[in-house]
Chain A
């Protein structure tokens, strides 16, 4: 299969990748990041996600 055919035949994912556009310049500062403190404090899955990430790092 030609490379371009392979790209065109990739299955469509459900994810919106607009948040990860290459070369898209952003200007978040540290003070802006701190504004996110506790933004997901009611999340049921973040603790499990963190454990999972640390496990992935061990693979």
Chain B
């Protein structure tokens, strides 16, 4: 399972060709791989939509989230996130809580890969056993 972070999804929907190239070429062999996102991304996306009361984007993302697996932040994921953050703290590389929570959700659900647009995931990639692709526009 590949987990997509909110900023990568936004770039894909916006029609960013770099995002598409990353998805379609770098991981071309995984076209039949299941994809998912997280409740953290759900929260982030709808914060932006509700802030602007934008009906078009609201309808689009509700339809999208009804089709893609949205993985929950449950106790198992929170436990995994705490272990990841603890390891980063030991190394002196604390990251932001939302990033650690996304990584914990990925770990708890057996994800093979996260594709993220946030550079802090580069630190997380040093302490987890799944691949993290950090996408920079």
Asked whether A57 lies within 8 Å of B46 as measured between CB atoms, the reply is no
Task: Tell me, in angstroms, the Cα distance from A34 to B42 when the chains sit together.
Answer: 19
Interface size band for A: 35 or more
In the complex formed, the residue of A with least CB distance to B5 is A53
Judge whether B42 and A20 touch: CB under 8 Å: yes
What chain B residues lie within 8 Å of A38 (beta carbons)? 13-15
Interface string of B55-72 (1 = CB under 8 A from A): 011101111111111101
Q: Which residues of A1-59 are within 8 A (CB) of B?
A: 15-16, 18-20, 22, 25-34, 36-41, 43, 45-50, 52-54, 56-59
In angstroms, how far is the closest chain A Cβ from the Cβ of B110? 15
Contact B12 A30 (CB under 8 A): no
Classify the secondary structure of B's interface with A. Answer: helix
- Which of A20, A31, A43 makes the CB contact (< 8 A) with B65? A20
Q: Is the CB of B33 within 8 A of A29?
A: yes
| Segment of B19-27, B79-87, B125-133 in the binding face | B19-27
Q: How distant is the Cα of A40 from the Cα of B34 in the complex, in angstroms?
A: 22
- Counting residue pairs across A and B whose Cβ atoms lie within 8 Å, the total is 129
User: In the bound complex, what is the Cα–Cα distance between A57 and B32 (angstroms)?
Assistant: 31
- Flag whether B98 is at the interface (Cβ < 8 A): yes
A57 touching B33 in the complex, CB below 8 Å, given contacts A26-B67, A39-B13: no
Shortest Cβ distance from residue A5 to the other chain B in the assembled complex, whole angstroms: 24
Known A33-B4, A46-B57, A52-B47; judge A26-B14 contact (CB<8 A).
Answer: no
For residue B89, CB closer than 8 A to chain A, the reply is no
Enumerate chain B residues within 8 angstroms of A45, measured Cβ to Cβ: 48-49, 52, 54, 57
The closest CB in chain A to the CB of B30 belongs to A30
- Of all chain B residues, the one with the shortest Cβ separation from A22 is B72
Contact of B33 with A30 in the complex, beta carbons under 8 Å: yes
Listed A/B pairs (29) with beta-carbon separation below 8 Å = A18-B66, A19-B63, A19-B64, A19-B65, A20-B65, A28-B69, A29-B33, A30-B23, A30-B34, A32-B67, A33-B4, A33-B35, A34-B23, A34-B24, A36-B12, A37-B13, A37-B15, A38-B13, A40-B13, A41-B15, A45-B52, A46-B10, A46-B57, A47-B14, A48-B48, A50-B10, A53-B6, A56-B47, A57-B98
